[in-house]
């Protein structure tokens, strides 16, 4: 187990230890304030160099997002007569349970149900062994069109006419109450968009909470648990535009009614048809960029990766949905409350490649809750409006990288500022045998990377820096770091930082994606 600290937490700990006492023996620091950026214990530290919380110090490196491989549609419409024959919409979740992937999504069938309505948006279920090829099992739980041979889950406690609009699920196999090991947050029109929750022991047979609605109006896509607190995010009803708001709960049924602001992307555009008048300021058009249903979350322990909906109105036709688009953007967070966009205005997954003038919904992507590392690939499931569930993949953990600026840097200053490099936040090993690995790509033999260790005050550790460093000259998803004295750091309880430097004749040929700090 390794303790990783943010810069704010480390500074607080240092100030607390150095505080002077007054003559009466009382300290001047009388209160400890929880800012949210506190230490967290994790089995393995993942350092993404584009995350300013875990890697706050960066010199002469820029961020580059990596384009995914689009694997296409993996869950599509069902055949005529099925419960998802008219729509498959991924306001849902993918969770890996053992060696099986499980997906919950929303579907609309083309048959009349027992209530006489065909357009009943309900929660459907699919399974997969590889995350690519999916099956829709006959669950035998809900009657649809006179038969229970369908893949709908059962929502005990809802009325027949109820429709479910969003669903995110979290799995906690260690919950002492087996009936609550699967937890669902969903939206129901009957509650006027207010937050509702349900619980299940198997993820198929659900029981809605008698306390519903349990939270305020919110349209959501992401959920996680951080230090014992559940965090749900989406866009709500308290802001002037769609912005990411975060609700919190410690028991999943009592949620904050006042949201935390996670991300705001309000932008104003200028009407290009208005004549330019140097004596009068331009009149801004309505807001053109918003956050659509918050962000889906991937909790990696010390960092949370998030994918949000970048909703873009056409400034010439504000308010007309047929002229808008939704890209998917990348965020990082240390705690599920505070979010940072490494490269604003640049999409992680662009809707442009899906544009088709005959299908106006193609330019709108939906982020779903579902990230997984599968072998040497990273999988992310997302929706194409209501046109099925799609899959994007990258080489493992290679969603973004840092690299030296293409125009180089002032080498005459390197004795003072050093070559391009970054330095992590403090990390405290709780046992001996700490090892470091790096995920990188070297585009030529004339590039190399060095990894050093220094103490919390940035002083190099003799055996892990300078001439004792063995440069890394090979590419790989998890390349082990070695020093001349060995490949482990064996002092526990002492805060250290990881310093990664980029060098060689062609440092611009280096791409660093992640650094891992793990046990031996």
Quick check: 125 and 135 in contact, CB under 8 A?
no
Q: Which part of the chain is CATH 2.115.10.20?
A: 69-397
CA angle 216, 239, 187 (to 5 degrees): 35
Identify the helix (H) or strand (E) that includes residue 381: strand 377-384
pLDDT tens-digit readout, 332-384: 999 999 999 999 889 999 987 655 444 555 578 999 999 999 999 999 999 98
Residues 6+ apart with CB under 8 A from 262: 233, 243, 244, 245, 246, 294, 295, 333, 337, 338, 339
Q: Which part of the chain is CATH 2.60.120.260?
A: 2-66+402-519
Give percent of the chain above pLDDT 90: 64
pLDDT tens-digit readout, 33-72: 555 567 889 999 999 999 999 999 999 999 999 999 999 9
- According to the model, what pLDDT value does residue 427 have? 95
Range 69-397 classified under CATH 1.10.260.40: no
- In order of 70, 236, 325, 343, 356, the CA distances from 353 in angstroms are 10, 29, 12, 20, 9
- According to the model, what pLDDT value does residue 325 have? 83
Nearest to 327 by CA among 279, 364, 282: 364
pLDDT tens-digit readout, 302-318: 999 999 998 887 766 66
Give the confidence band of 184 by pLDDT, cuts at 50, 70, 90: very high
The two three-digit tokens of residue 348, written as one number:
């992680």
Give the confidence band of 8 by pLDDT, cuts at 50, 70, 90: very low
pLDDT at 179 over 90: yes
**Predicted TM-score of the model (pTM):** 0.88
Give the confidence band of 400 by pLDDT, cuts at 50, 70, 90: very high
**Torsions phi, psi for 372 (to 5 deg):** -150, 140
User: Tokens 């390794």 correspond to what residue?
Assistant: 2
47-264-215-165 Cα dihedral, nearest 10 degrees: -90
Quick check: 89 and 106 in contact, CB under 8 A?
yes
Cα distance between residue 86 and residue 109, in whole Å: 5
Range 2-66+402-519 classified under CATH 2.60.120.260: yes
Helix segments in 412-503, DSSP class H: 414-417
Lowest mean pLDDT segment, chosen from 7-16, 258-267, 394-403, 456-465: 7-16
pLDDT at 22 over 60: no
Cα distance between residue 235 and residue 140, in whole Å: 35
CA angle 490, 420, 498 (to 5 degrees): 15
- According to the model, what pLDDT value does residue 351 have? 87
pLDDT tens-digit readout, 227-282: 999 999 998 755 557 889 999 999 999 999 999 988 887 655 444 455 555 455 55
The two three-digit tokens of residue 416, written as one number:
């003072």
What's the number of CA atoms in the CB half-sphere (13 Å) around residue 180? 8
What rounded mean pLDDT belongs to the chain?
A: 86
Cα distance between residue 436 and residue 478, in whole Å: 9
pLDDT tens-digit readout, 444-500: 899 999 999 999 999 999 999 999 999 999 999 999 999 999 999 999 999 999 999
pLDDT tens-digit readout, 111-170: 765 554 555 789 999 999 999 999 999 999 999 888 999 999 999 998 877 889 899 999
């Amino acid at each position: 187990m390794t303790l990783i600290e943010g810069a704010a937490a480390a500074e607080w700990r240092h100030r607390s230890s150095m505080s002077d006492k007054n003559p009466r023996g009382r300290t001047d620091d009388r209160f400890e304030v929880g800012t949210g950026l506190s230490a967290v214990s994790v089995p393995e530290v993942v350092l993404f160099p584009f995350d300013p919380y875990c890697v706050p110090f960066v010199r002469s490196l820029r961020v580059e997002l990596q384009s995914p491989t689009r694997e296409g549609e993996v869950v599509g419409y069902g055949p005529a007569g099925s419960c998802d024959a008219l729509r498959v919409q991924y306001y849902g979740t993918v969770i890996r349970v053992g060696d099986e992937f499980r997906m919950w999504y929303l579907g609309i069938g083309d048959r009349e149900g027992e209530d006489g309505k065909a357009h009943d948006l309900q929660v459907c279920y699919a399974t997969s062994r590889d995350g690519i090829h999916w099956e829709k099992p006959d669950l035998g739980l809900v009657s649809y069109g006179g038969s229970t041979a369908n893949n709908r889950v059962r929502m005990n406690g809802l009325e027949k006419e109820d429709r479910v609009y969003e669903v995110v699920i979290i799995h906690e196999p260690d919950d002492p109450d087996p009936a609550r090991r699967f937890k669902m947050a969903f939206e129901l029109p009957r509650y006027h968009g207010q937050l509702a929750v349900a619980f299940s022991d198997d993820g198929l047979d659900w029981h809605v909470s008698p306390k519903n609605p349990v939270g305020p109006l919110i349209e959501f896509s992401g959920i996680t648990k951080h230090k014992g607190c559940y965090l749900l995010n989406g866009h709500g009803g308290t802001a002037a535009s769609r912005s990411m708001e975060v609700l919190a709960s410690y028991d999943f049924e009592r949620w904050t009614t006042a949201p935390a602001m996670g991300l705001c992307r309000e932008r104003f555009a200028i009407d290009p048809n208005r004549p330019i008048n140097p004596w009068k300021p331009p009149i801004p058009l309505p807001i053109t960029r918003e956050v659509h249903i918050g962000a889906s979350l991937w909790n990696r322990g010390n960092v949370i990766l998030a994918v949000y909906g970048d909703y873009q109105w056409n400034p010439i036709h504000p308010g007309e949905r047929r002229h808008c688009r939704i890209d998917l953007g990348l965020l990082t967070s240390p705690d599920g409350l505070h979010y940072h966009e490494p490269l604003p205005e640049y999409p992680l997954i662009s809707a442009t490649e899906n544009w088709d003038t005959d299908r106006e919904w193609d330019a709108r992507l939906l982020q779903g809750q579902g990230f997984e590392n599968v072998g040497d690939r990273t999988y992310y499931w997302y929706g194409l409006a209501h046109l099925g569930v799609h899959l994007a993949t990258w080489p493992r953990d290679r969603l973004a990288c840092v690299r030296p600026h293409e125009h180089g840097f002032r080498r005459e200053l390197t004795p003072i500022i050093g070559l391009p490099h970054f330095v992590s936040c403090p990390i405290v090993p709780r046992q001996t045998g700490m090892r470091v690995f790096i995920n990188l790509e070297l585009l030529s033999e004339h590039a190399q990377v060095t990894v050093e260790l220094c103490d919390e005050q940035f002083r190099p550790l003799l055996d892990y820096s300078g001439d004792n460093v063995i440069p890394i000259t090979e590419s790989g998803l998890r390349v082990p770091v070695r020093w001349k004295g060995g490949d482990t750091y064996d002092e526990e309880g002492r805060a250290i930082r990881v310093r990664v430097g980029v060098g060689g004749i062609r440092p611009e040929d280096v791409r660093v994606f992640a650094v891992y700090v793990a046990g031996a």
